[in-house]
Amino acid sequence: MDVDIDDIRHLANEASFERGERYFEEGRVEIIEASERRVKAVVEGTYNYTVEVDLDEGISATCTCPYDWGGYCKHIVAVLLAMAKDDVKAMMAKGESELENIESLLKGADPDELREFMRGELEAAHTMRARFLARFKRGGSQKSGK
């Protein structure tokens, strides 16, 4: 990918660059879609934010976070750093491999342990809890016969 770290520094203020660098190093970037010129990613922050980067004419990027203090936000910086370090392909491959592993683990999981794990995760993550409740509440979109 044609992204240079010096370019990223110029597109963000110092605080955003440093925080974005930390987010990248902590593995908070999940690449959703990628090509040579475009990347869509989710970055874990206070919430999960969607970042889209387009390299057709320079570097153009958007993020769903409310940042409005000049330059690019830390979430965009984290994704640009993934692109600069060419980690995009490795991250996509890792994500696909992890999903296959998760599917295998789910098939063999003890239902009670899985239920206990989900209860703990839903207690800690309010956005996931809201999505869970919307999907599985009584009278919601449950599969018939279950």
How much is the pLDDT for 77? Answer: 98
How much is the pLDDT for 82? Answer: 92
pLDDT score of 138 more than 50:
yes
Does residue 63 contact residue 81 with C-beta atoms inside 8 Å?
no
Residue where the block lists tokens 């990613």 = 41
How much is the pLDDT for 97? Answer: 66
How much is the pLDDT for 88? Answer: 76
- Report the candidate in 82, 47, 79, 85 with the shortest Cα–Cα distance to residue 60: 79
Report field, pTM of the whole predicted structure over 0.75 = no
Residue-wise pLDDT for 84-128, tens only, equals 987 777 766 665 666 777 888 899 999 999 999 999 989 988 888
Q: Which are the contacts of 91, defined by CB distance < 8 A and separation ≥ 6?
A: 29, 30, 31, 82
Phi, psi of 62 (to 5 degrees): -130, 155
pLDDT score of 146 more than 70:
no
pLDDT score of 58 more than 60:
yes
How much is the pLDDT for 42? Answer: 96
Cα distance between residue 60 and residue 23, in whole Å:
20
Residue-wise pLDDT for 8-40, tens only, equals 999 999 999 999 999 999 999 998 888 878 899
How much is the pLDDT for 126? Answer: 83
